[in-house]
């Protein structure tokens, strides 16, 4: 879905999110990562999974939306030689905006996309068009390599010098936990974008916290992008 | 047009608000979170996040569940603790025009008194709201608000520990709220705010387990408004200290209903999550209503619908 939001597009950075009031019902705003940014437009990318996304998908072209944003901290872009982006499922959405920002730097961008089945593989061609080296994995083997995206990641990291490599990831928590573990073993700097139910979106309500080595942190305002070694996923 | 309200007429320092629209504790952080979204200085008052003696981590996730016209939360009073609040937040508040009220919660009566004592005389802090109604903590909180004797004891202890105006925030998770309100007023409360969230829960039927990490949480939002309004009506008829209405207020007409039920001021909470500007929209709506109805002073509306 493409949104015309000039003021936001001007200052938004990959990894940040928009908090959108879709209708009077459901009650809370819904967070969406920035998928693509061009001119005064921002694209968001989502699957219809509940009442909020269902209502959003019914909006007609030209409809007005109440958008709060850009919110949160985005990816910290570093001009390191090897940029590895790994996304699972719809988690690939914010990585595309990141790749768009990275293509202007003199770095090599390698993208790993994972999904359950071939039908669920997203953005493969879009990344390729940008000039990224793309590899895919599906759990059932219907597309790309059979297995997990993190299996490909392990292979790739073997051939890259850790100090000249940076990793960015977005996807289900289970995948992020494995990415963090692999990054840690390989001593590669890694940033992960977390997904949570976001309530206020500005750090006031403390509803969207995640456990870190130094206590709870707010996904909406201290994240959603964190350094992987500070987050305690699945604990 | 006069929108100002005095919430602590019996207190030496008083608590004069330029208008009756406040933010509810726990929904507005420390005020700073929203200052880039709108002019928070226009608000009647800001009530900050519930503050304990030492910092508190809060409850496990998930902490938020959306329900029909409402919100269940089990944050569990995650906060930085009173000393950090005095050091890191109060200096900024001292430069603000809008009065900041610190909501406090303790596990023992002594803890409440100690927190109140720490806050006494700190520049930037204009009043204390005593939280004897949080449903999300194991010890203290709503326990004290559940019976008149302990509610009065906490109130008296806090009053002794500070010269600041003291608001006491009540729970309705109790048998007779009017009785509690009278006991609290008798013990010296300058004003009474109500209601806090109602205990509730939700279950994930696929996983067959409660959705909140803490199992139970507090329900807020439009779903609880009629209940809150009734409780305000009841309490306003039982005490002669100012009453501050809170619970599901989303629009100006909601706020006016509470004022007509007997509230001198209102707190807006959960509505802010959907519309951060809700408190200001409500204030503007109250002004428009008064203009249309030819009302010069907001005091004319307080209790206007009482029979």
A228-232 mean pLDDT: 92
How far apart, in Å, are the Cα atoms of A119 and each of A144, B274, B275? 12, 35, 37
pLDDT score of A118: 87
- Contact residues, chain A, for B69 at CB < 8 Å: 25, 27
CB contact (8 A) between residue A209 and residue B276:
no
pLDDT score of B147: 87
B51-56 mean pLDDT: 96
pLDDT score of A23: 83
**Nearest-by-CA chain A residue for B79:** A206
CB contact (8 A) between residue B29 and residue A215:
no
Is B75 labelled as part of a ligand binding site? yes
Helix (H, G, I), strand (E, B) or coil at B207: coil
Q: Is residue B307 part of a domain?
A: no
Is B27 labelled as part of a ligand binding site? no
Query: Residues of chain A with pLDDT > 70: what percent?
Result: 98
Q: Are strands A189-193 and A225-227 parallel, antiparallel or unpaired?
A: antiparallel
pLDDT score of A26: 63
Q: Which of A53-57, B13-17, B267-271 is the least confident region?
A: A53-57
Q: Is residue B68 part of a domain?
A: no
* Contact residues, A window 67-86, toward B, CB-based 8 Å cutoff: 68
A80-106 mean pLDDT: 92
CB contact (8 A) between residue A29 and residue B273:
yes
pLDDT score of B141: 66
Each residue of B4-27: b (16+ CB within 10 Å) or e?
ebbbbbebeeebebbbbbbbbbbb
Helices (H), chain A: 6-11, 51-57, 93-102, 124-130, 149-158, 173-186
* Side-chain-facing half-sphere of B237: CA atoms under 13 Å: 13
pLDDT score of A235: 47
pLDDT score of A70: 95
B102-110 mean pLDDT: 94
B134 catalytic, yes or no?
A: yes
Is B79 labelled as part of a ligand binding site? no
Range of the domain at B175: 5-59+77-198+221-300
The helix-helix angle for A149-158 and A173-186 (nearest 10°) equals 10
Alpha carbon distance A125, A129 (integer Å): 6
**In the structure, what pLDDT confidence band is assigned to residue A106 with cuts at 50, 70 and 90?**
confident
Q: Are B204 and B211 in contact (CB under 8 A)?
A: yes
R_g over Cα of chain B: 18
pLDDT score of B136: 64
Q: Does B204 touch chain A (CB under 8 A)?
A: no
Closest CA to B72 of B185, B186, B208, B223: B223
Is B40 labelled as part of a ligand binding site? no
B100-117 mean pLDDT: 96
**Which class in CATH covers the domain with range A2-71?**
mainly beta
What's the ipTM? 0.91
Is B269 labelled as part of a ligand binding site? yes
CB contact (8 A) between residue A21 and residue B274:
yes
**Which class in CATH covers the domain with range A82-230?**
alpha beta
Of A68, A207, A211, the CB nearest to B276: A68
User: Per-domain residue ranges for chain A?
Assistant: 2-71, 82-230
Give B215 to chain A, closest Cα distance, Å.
15
Between the ranges A116-130, B123-137, B150-164, where is the mean pLDDT highest?
Answer: B150-164
Q: Does A55 touch chain B (CB under 8 A)?
A: no
Q: Does B78 touch chain A (CB under 8 A)?
A: yes
pLDDT at B103 over 80: yes
How many domains does the structure of chain B reveal? 1
Instruction: For residue B15, give the CATH number of its domain.
Output: 3.20.20.70
pLDDT at B135 over 80: no
- Contact residues, chain B, for A201 at CB < 8 Å: 273
Q: Is residue B210 part of a domain?
A: no
The two three-digit tokens of residue B157, written as one number: 């202890």
**In the structure, what pLDDT confidence band is assigned to residue A145 with cuts at 50, 70 and 90?**
confident
CB contact (8 A) between residue B66 and residue A29:
no
Q: Is residue B69 part of a domain?
A: no
- Contact residues, chain B, for A210 at CB < 8 Å: 61
**Nearest-by-CA chain A residue for B77:** A206
pLDDT score of B137: 63
pLDDT at A105 over 50: yes
pLDDT at A144 over 90: no
Alpha carbon distance B221, A25 (integer Å): 12
Q: Are B141 and B87 in contact (CB under 8 A)?
A: no
Among residues B72, B119, B132, B134, the one annotated as catalytic is B134
The two three-digit tokens of residue A104, written as one number: 């202007």
pLDDT at B139 over 70: no
**Nearest-by-CA chain B residue for A198:** B64
First-residue to last-residue Cα distance in chain B: 26
pLDDT score of B157: 97
Residue B61: φ, ψ to 5°: -80, 165
Q: Is residue B265 part of a domain?
A: yes
**Nearest-by-CA chain B residue for A215:** B57
């Amino acid at each position: 879905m493409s949104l015309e939001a000039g003021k936001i597009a001007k200052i938004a950075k990959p990894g940040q999110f928009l908090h959108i009031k879709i209708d009077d019902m459901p009650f809370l705003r819904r967070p969406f990562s920035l998928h693509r940014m061009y001119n005064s437009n921002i694209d968001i990318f989502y699957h219809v999974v509940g009442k909020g996304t269902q209502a959003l998908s019914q909006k007609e072209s030209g409809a007005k939306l109440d958008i709060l944003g850009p919110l949160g901290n985005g990816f910290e872009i570093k001009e390191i030689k090897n940029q590895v982006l790994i996304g699972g499922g719809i988690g690939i959405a914010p990585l595309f905006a990141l790749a768009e920002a990275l293509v202007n730097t003199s770095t090599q961008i390698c993208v790993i996309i994972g999904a359950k089945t071939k039908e669920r593989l997203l953005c493969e061609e879009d990344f390729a068009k940008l000039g990224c080296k793309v590899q895919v994995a599906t759990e059932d083997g219907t597309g790309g390599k059979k297995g997990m995206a993190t299996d490909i990641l392990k292979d790739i990291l073997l051939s890259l010098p850790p100090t000249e490599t940076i990793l960015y990831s977005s996807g289900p928590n289970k995948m992020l936990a494995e990415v963090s573990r692999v990054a840690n073993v390989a001593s590669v700097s890694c940033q992960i974008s977390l997904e949570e139910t976001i309530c206020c979106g500005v750090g006031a309500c403390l509803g969207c916290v995640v456990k870190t080595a130094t206590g709870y942190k707010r996904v909406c305002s201290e994240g959603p992008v964190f350094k992987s070694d500070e987050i305690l996923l699945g604990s | 047009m006069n929108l100002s309200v005095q919430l602590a007429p019996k207190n030496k320092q008083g608590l004069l608000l330029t208008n009756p629209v406040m933010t509810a504790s726990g929904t507005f952080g420390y005020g700073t979170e929203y200052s880039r979204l709108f002019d928070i200085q226009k608000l009647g008052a800001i009530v900050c996040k519930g503050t304990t003696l030492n910092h508190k981590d809060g409850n496990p996730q998930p902490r938020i569940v959306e329900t029909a016209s409402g919100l269940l939360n089990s944050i569990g009073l995650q906060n930085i603790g009173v000393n950090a609040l005095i050091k890191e937040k109060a200096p900024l508040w001292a430069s603000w025009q809008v009065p900041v009220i610190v909501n406090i919660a303790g596990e023992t009566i002594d803890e409440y008194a100690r927190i109140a004592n720490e806050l006494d005389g700190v520049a930037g802090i204009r009043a204390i709201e005593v939280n004897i109604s949080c449903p999300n903590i194991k010890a203290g909180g709503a326990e004290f608000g559940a019976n008149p004797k302990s509610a009065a004891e906490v109130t008296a202890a806090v009053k002794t520990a500070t010269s600041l105006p003291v608001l006491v925030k009540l729970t309705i998770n109790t048998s007779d709220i009017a009785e509690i309100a009278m006991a609290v007023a008798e013990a010296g409360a300058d004003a009474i705010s109500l209601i806090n969230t109602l205990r509730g829960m939700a279950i994930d039927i696929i996983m067959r387990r409660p959705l909140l990490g803490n199992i139970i949480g507090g329900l807020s939002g439009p779903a609880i408004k009629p209940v809150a309004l009734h409780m305000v009506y009841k309490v306003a008829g039982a005490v002669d200290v100012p009453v501050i209405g809170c619970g599901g207020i989303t629009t100006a007409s909601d706020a006016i209903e509470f004022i007509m039920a007997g509230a001198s001021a209102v707190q807006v909470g959960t509505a802010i999550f959907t519309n951060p500007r809700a408190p200001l929209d409500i204030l503007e709506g109250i002004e428009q209503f008064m203009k249309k109805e030819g009302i010069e002073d907001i005091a004319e509306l307080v209790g206007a619908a009482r029979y």
